Amino acid sequence: MSSYRAMLCVVAALVLSCTSTSAFVAPTAARAATAVNQRSSAVSRSAVNSRQTQRRTSALCMEGQAAYLDDPMLVPLEDDDYVAFGLACCFVMNDNLKLDEYYVYEPLTAATLETIASSQSLETSYKRVTAFHAKDIFEGPPARPTGIQVDKLKILDGDVTAHICENPVERTLAAARTYKRRVEAQMCGYGDLLEGFNFSTERKRILNHKFEPSFDDNVKQDKSIDVYGREEEEAKQIADLENM
Ligand SMILES: *[C@@H]1O[C@H](CO)[C@@H](O)[C@H](O)[C@H]1NC(C)=O
């Protein structure tokens, strides 16, 4: 029960942070993100179009980028921490306003991996999943990573070409932290390939399309937070939200 509440907290954080394309910020990372946002809004308030301001802005942005590493509330990752990556089938809109498939490598949170790996009845945009020790997938030490070793993710490719997701370092740090709190969600062995999920692109994840929740969406989301104890429905709602 409490674990489902924890998952719903993740969902709530997701709903609140979902003002742009497939943005995922885990609750722990949200604090860092808020700090960044506060800084950047301070920047926009004072913005006048002078070169000096531009210089100041870029200095603040750089400072902001490191904020998620310097947040004293976040315990640094260790070399052997677990993190799973998936190959997701997303879409981008081309110049003719048609949707093209666009495969993305992205870290999976504990809630996502647990949901898609434990129930075939839930549809997902993930084709394949693998898992790493943090030290094997980050560039630089996991406590202060500088990038992602994208080559290592090619194990997920199959017959498609894929691209690393946006903000991969930040998202991987946030995702890895979710497994610290939920070790039983580590359902893919290190270096294993998990596939055969209930793959579907019926609900398309469109990457260059700004997500603006409609009134109906907001009503649905309110309902989704009001279903404690109805595990199957919760899991479905979580999957639906994560499939956005
Ligand atoms: C996949 O998920 C859909 C929607 O929940 C369900 O209707 C379908 O039966 C599932 N497919 C399999 C093979 O379980």
Would you state the pLDDT for residue 71?
A: 75
Instruction: Classify residue 105 by its DSSP letter.
Output: E
- Residue 72's pLDDT is 72
Separation between Cα atoms, residue 30 and residue 13, nearest integer Å:
8
Confidence of residue 11 (pLDDT cuts 50, 70, 90): very low
Question: What pTM, to 2 d.p., does this model score?
Answer: 0.62
Q: Where are the domains of the chain?
A: 1-70, 82-194
Distance 123 CA to ligand 1 centre (A): 6
Helix spans in the chain (H): 2-17, 27-45, 51-70, 110-118, 134-137, 168-181, 215-224, 231-242
Residue pair 195/158 in contact by the 8 Å Cβ criterion: no
Strands 82-93, 99-108: pairing kind: antiparallel
Query: pLDDT tens digit string along 58-92?
Result: 444 344 455 666 777 778 999 999 999 999 999 99
Instruction: Give the closest residue (by CA) to ligand 1 atom 6.
Output: 121
Condensed to tens digits (0 to 9), the pLDDT of residues 139-194 reads 999 999 999 999 999 999 988 999 999 999 999 999 999 999 899 999 999 999 99
Render pLDDT for 204-232 as a digit per residue (tens, 0 to 9).
999 985 545 555 544 444 434 333 334 45
109 phi-psi bin (left φ>0, alpha ψ -120 to 50, beta other): beta
Q: Which residues line ligand 1 (CB under 6 A)?
A: 120-123, 198
